[in-house]
A and B are shown apart, each in its own frame.
Chain A
Amino acid sequence: MARVVVDVMLKPEILDPQGQAVQRALPRLGFAGIADVRQGKRFELEVEGPVDEAALSRIHEMAETFLANTVIEDFVVKVES
């Protein structure tokens, strides 16, 4: 089975307090030099059958209508080999 990954990130202009909380914790933990952190979601889809154009277009539709809320989030669809 092929794996397709959908990465979902808040749009750059949307405040990400979770990412900020992680970023603020880093120097406390001794990890210096990280100027900014943004937190997103990764979906790993195990796809039955071939990952052809039709399958990818269905996954794109799935990401656009359900996995991401495009009012606040961007998404990227990648095929993993």
Chain B
Amino acid sequence: MTARIGVVTFPGTLDDQDALRAARLAGAEAVPLWHRDKDLKQVDAVVLAGGFSYGDYLRAGAISRFSPVMGTIIEQAKAGMPVLGICNGFQILTEAHLLPGAMLRNNHLHFICRDQKLRVENADTAWTADYASGQEISVPLKNMDGRYVADERVLDELEAEGRVAFRYLDLNPNGSLRDIAGITNAAGNVVGLMPHPEHAVEPLIGTGGTDGLGFFTSVLKKLVAA
């Protein structure tokens, strides 16, 4: 049976269609999920897509975190279901405390949109197994609140446990501490990152490469093996 990947739409989500398309291109059954529904429609994994849910009012991701769908996702994520948060989705995952730290306004205060080089630091997560540790990839990046912060103790812990999943290469676009672009939880099923792999899955759009497709094929492989 084909694995089902759900993508949540909150009011203000922008990249849900791209994420659904990326899941389909990887070979999954793509399932749209609505933020008001507690029901996850028997999906095997969930993507929280990018955008500006609830207009980023209060703080990015702060209001979405309390949507009915998040109650179920938090429960399932703790039980081991793979969850990927991209950009606004990453912000929601930190607000929900599924990932440590917090996301703040870029240090230069500008919205930034560029092709971003990343190093995959951890290829043992549910969403990165199709990459090699140390592999360099290029995917689009576009955000206003992309500065990852956590206190020194948390940062040291993330480094020691190999939970810095992605690091910015060449240029740190937003002042993220220790050039962190993405992290994983201890179990490796919950991953969050600021850049957008779902925009680099077809040669004709985004960076012109398909470096982002590995996220979606990784989780499929993991689900089929499970």
Residues in chain A within 8 A of chain B (CB atoms): 10, 13-15, 17-18, 21, 66-67, 69, 71-72
Q: Is the CB of A72 within 8 A of B102?
A: yes
Identify which of residues 82-141 in chain B touch chain A, using a CB-to-CB cut-off of 8 Å: 94-95, 100-102, 104-109
How near does chain B come to A42, taking the closest CB pair, in angstroms?
Answer: 13
Q: Is the CB of B62 within 8 A of A71?
A: no
Query: CB < 8 Å: which of A14, A18, A72 contacts B109?
Result: A18
Q: Is the CB of B105 within 8 A of A69?
A: no
Q: Is the CB of B101 within 8 A of A17?
A: no
Query: CB < 8 Å: which of A10, A17, A67, A72 contacts B107?
Result: A17
Residues of chain B with a CB closer than 8 A to A69's CB: 59, 62, 95, 102
Residues of chain A with a CB closer than 8 A to B149's CB: 14-15, 72
Residues of chain B with a CB closer than 8 A to A13's CB: 151
Pair count A-B, CB < 8 A: 34
**A17-B108, A71-B101, A71-B150 known; A66 vs B66 contact (CB < 8 Å):** yes
Q: Is B171 an interface residue (CB 8 A)?
A: no
Q: Is B58 an interface residue (CB 8 A)?
A: yes
Q: Is the CB of B175 within 8 A of A15?
A: yes
Q: How many angstroms between the C-alpha atoms of A54 and B101 in the bound complex?
A: 31
**A14-B149, A15-B175 known; A71 vs B107 contact (CB < 8 Å):** no
Q: Is the CB of A72 within 8 A of B58?
A: no
Q: Which residue of A lies closest to B151 (CB)?
A: A13
Q: How many angstroms between the C-alpha atoms of A10 and B147 in the bound complex?
A: 14
8 A–B pairs (Cβ distance < 8 Å), ordered by A: A14-B104, A15-B104, A15-B175, A17-B105, A17-B107, A18-B109, A66-B66, A71-B100
Q: How many angstroms between the C-alpha atoms of A17 and B108 in the bound complex?
A: 7
Best-buried of B58, B95, B175 by chain A (most CB within 10 Å): B58
Q: Is the CB of A67 within 8 A of B104?
A: no
Q: How many angstroms between the C-alpha atoms of A69 and B58 in the bound complex?
A: 10
Q: Which 10 A-B pairs have the closest CB atoms?
A: A71-B102, A72-B102, A17-B107, A17-B109, A69-B102, A69-B59, A21-B109, A14-B149, A17-B105, A72-B149
Q: How many angstroms between the C-alpha atoms of A72 and B149 in the bound complex?
A: 8
**A14-B149, A15-B175 known; A71 vs B108 contact (CB < 8 Å):** no
How near does chain A come to B70, taking the closest CB pair, in angstroms?
Answer: 13
Q: How many angstroms between the C-alpha atoms of A81 and B66 in the bound complex?
A: 32
How near does chain B come to A45, taking the closest CB pair, in angstroms?
Answer: 14
How near does chain B come to A15, taking the closest CB pair, in angstroms?
Answer: 6
Residues of chain A with a CB closer than 8 A to B107's CB: 15, 17
Residues of chain A with a CB closer than 8 A to B109's CB: 17-18, 21
